[in-house]
Amino acid sequence: MEIRELIGALVTLMGSIFIFLGGLGIVRMPDLFNRIQAGTKASTLGTILSLIGLSIINPAWIWKLLVIVFFVLITNPVSSNVISRAAHFRGTKMTDKTVTDLLGESQNKTKEE
């Protein structure tokens, strides 16, 4: 009984560490696309871990928490993809260390043809 609640609390603590790192990445990254990658990915994993930890503590709530986990897992990549496409279309500057830009290359190729 006690061990199960302790494991759930530790999983929730791990998720909150990931959420904190997502916030740190969204402040410190040099570029919009790096910020999207750091913030969205880390906060998705953190939310999933903390909800799973709460469902370990309270086993009666597991179905509702699993619905929210499924929903976050589906919708968060979609929203980050929409925002990054819009920013690329808008001509947001990338950082100087960028190596490749596949979406811009494919758009240039379609324009030339």
In terms of Cβ atoms closer than 10 Å to its own Cβ (0-12, 13-18, 19+), residue 40 is buried
Question: Which range of residues in 60-68, 95-103, 105-113 is near other proteins by CB under 8 A?
Answer: 60-68
Tokens of 30: 């040099």
67 binds other proteins (CB under 8 A): yes
Q: What is the sign, positive or negative, of the torsion defined by CA atoms of 72, 76, 79, 82?
A: negative
56 binds other proteins (CB under 8 A): no
Q: How many CB atoms lie within 10 A of CB 54?
A: 17
**By C-beta, is 92 or 107 nearer to other proteins?**
92
CA–CA separation, 33 and 24 (whole Å)? 15
Cβ at position 108, least distance to other proteins in Å:
18
Q: Note the helical H segments in 1-113.
A: 2-28, 32-57, 62-90, 102-112
Question: Which one among 78, 96, 100, 111 touches other proteins, defined by CB under 8 A?
Answer: 78
Residues at the contact surface with other proteins, assessed by CB under 8 A: 5-6, 8-10, 12-13, 15-17, 19-24, 26-27, 32, 35-36, 39-40, 43-44, 46-47, 50-51, 54, 57-58, 60-61, 64-65, 67-68, 71-72, 75-76, 78-80, 82-83, 85-87, 89-90, 92
